[in-house]
């Protein structure tokens, strides 16, 4: 049973991922903690014999490549696949749902289908102010896809770029909320599947 809210003094897989699947909104402030969370996410996936898709920016990719070589030297491309987030989030305009989902499915198809897959995405946009309606459309479709596929997916957003309106939108499209110091079930979550059923 998930608690409503827990504080994370130090990172713990049990505190962060008490579930096998779901859509997590990670609102982070510290790049150092971000890398630590991602490292533990990878370690947990390897322990569960899952394939791991990491979508991140060009600033972090060299850091992550070094981390993978040092911490997970035996993990090959069928275990961990690292992708530049530009193709997903920026190549055809901010939050282009069809482009993002097409790239996501293409990257997932590279894995061995016999393993479960978890994914982690650093979400970015090029405009000064994010288009909240497009973000909501994208994250709603992503939530439905993740639930259908029974995956665990973390969507990471930097607090430096979030507006209050975008934060509320993201909290309504992700069941699980994570910050650098806490985890909780979103009180604002509205499942697209539940909306379509009603």
Dump pLDDT digits (tens) for 59-89: 999 999 999 999 999 888 778 999 998 877 7
Residue 13 lies in a domain: no
Angle at 109 between CA 107 and CA 113, to 5 degrees: 135
Residue 191 lies in a domain: yes
Domain that residue 102 falls in: 22-197
Residue 11 lies in a domain: no
Q: Are the beta carbons of 94 and 136 closer than 8 angstroms?
A: no
In Å, what is the CA distance from 16 to each residue of 38, 49, 104?
Answer: 11, 18, 24
Angle at 115 between CA 65 and CA 124, to 5 degrees: 45
Q: Which two tokens stand for residue 24?
A: 């997590």
Task: Write down the pTM of the prediction.
Answer: 0.87
Residue 108 lies in a domain: yes
Residue 15 lies in a domain: no
Residue pLDDT, tens place only, 85-132: 887 777 766 667 788 888 888 888 888 767 889 999 999 888 778 888
Number of folded domains that form the chain = 1
Q: Are the beta carbons of 186 and 25 closer than 8 angstroms?
A: yes
CATH of the domain at 134: 3.40.50.300
Residue 9 lies in a domain: no
């Amino acid at each position: 049973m998930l608690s409503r809210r827990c504080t994370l003094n130090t990172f713990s897989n049990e505190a962060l991922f008490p579930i096998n699947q779901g859509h997590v909104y990670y609102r982070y402030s510290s790049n150092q903690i971000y890398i630590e969370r991602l490292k533990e996410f990878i370690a947990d996936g390897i322990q569960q014999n899952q394939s791991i898709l990491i979508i991140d920016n060009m600033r972090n990719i060299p850091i992550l490549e070094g981390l993978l070589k040092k911490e997970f030297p035996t993990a090959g491309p069928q275990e961990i696949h690292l992708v530049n987030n530009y193709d997903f989030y920026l190549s055809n305009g901010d939050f282009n749902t069809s482009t993002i989902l097409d790239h996501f499915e293409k990257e997932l198809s590279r894995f061995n289908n016999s393993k479960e897959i978890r994914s982690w995405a650093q979400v970015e946009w090029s405009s000064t102010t994010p288009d909240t309606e497009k973000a909501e459309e994208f994250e709603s479709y992503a939530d439905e896809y993740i639930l259908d596929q029974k995956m665990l997916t973390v969507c990471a957003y930097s607090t430096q770029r979030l507006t209050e309106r975008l934060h509320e939108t993201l909290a309504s499209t992700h069941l699980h909320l994570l910050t650098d110091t806490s985890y909780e079930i979103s009180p604002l979550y509205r499942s697209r599947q539940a909306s379509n059923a009603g």
